[in-house]
Amino acid sequence: MCPVFIGFLCPHAGQFMCKLTKLMFEMEGEGEVLYRIVSWDSCPLDGLGQKEAAGPLYSINCHKGSIQHLHIPHCETRTHDVELTVAHVTGGNVEIIQPLKVTNTHVVVDVHSLSLFGLLRDLIFQAYPIEAQVLLFYKKLNGKHRMNKLHMHLLPGNIPVEEVGKQHESNTYIETSATCELSPGNKYWPFYKNTDHEITIQPEFEKFKRDYGPNYHPTFEVFFNTDVNKITLGLMNENNKEVWSRLVLITDKEASSPKLDST
């Protein structure tokens, strides 16, 4: 989890969005917003019935101003078929907030006091595909084996890339078009093609989960010879249908820095 608060100044009333998390704040006037992602261990979900986390848990504070509405990004593809609510945690107590509205990208709630906020999904509803992402991190291996590897992370789409990268700072983030639709609870098989080099992927398959930390371990490891500078990687679902495939260039690009947009 991020130990340092992200902060920015909102110079006037209006909507402001952070490119790092896609959080949006509707400000009543000028103010300074500070926030970070914390572990869901801070929120006792056991007493909330059939609910599970549907996004990161955010600790939010605002100085010299006030937030009127908070827009929390979700990754649902069937918002009319899934019930989303917001957990507001203060002093160890959890309040369930009903949304003002749910758009294709965000859940909007009124803000009366600040502390911890996180999305919840009702478990009684059928598990539909969600907007997901395949994040790739390149790791050079030292030794006599002349092998390097890629970590493949299958994660919900509303987890910031930078949040995962903080746990893998010794690796290089490989930027690619990462988005796809995956179904929580279903199994997925990684594959490669268009290469004459020997490549090994482990494990053979894995079940996709709504993983919101605190630890982001790779779902798959891809081992390849040091001579390899590009690989086509993909995922197959349980029906042998290709759900994601990209040409991956092994380069030393860095992840983007967080930025702020106002609308």
Task: Report whether 5 contacts 63 (CB < 8 A).
Answer: no
| Average pLDDT over every residue of 83-106 | 93
Going from the C-alpha of 233 to that of each of 106, 173, 216, 224, 229, the distances in angstroms are 30, 15, 20, 12, 13
* pLDDT grade for 63, boundaries at 50, 70 and 90: confident
pTM of the model: 0.90
Query: Percent helix, strand, coil in the chain (nearest 5)?
Result: 5, 50, 45
Q: Which CATH number fits domain 130-249: 1.10.3720.10, 3.40.1000.10, 1.20.1250.20, 2.60.40.2660?
A: 2.60.40.2660
Per-domain residue ranges of the chain: 6-122, 130-249
Considering 27-31, 64-68, 242-246, the range whose residues carry the highest mean pLDDT is 242-246
Considering 53-57, 60-64, 227-231, 250-254, the range whose residues carry the highest mean pLDDT is 53-57
Higher-scoring residue by pLDDT: 49, 177: 177
Looking at the structure, give the CATH architecture of the domain made up of residues 6-122. Answer: Sandwich (2.60)
Distance CA 173, CA 165 (A): 7
| Average pLDDT over every residue of 173-201 | 93
Residue 51: beta bridge partners? Answer: 122
Over 70: is that where the pLDDT of 256 sits?
A: no
Nearest to 215 by CA among 63, 87, 37: 37
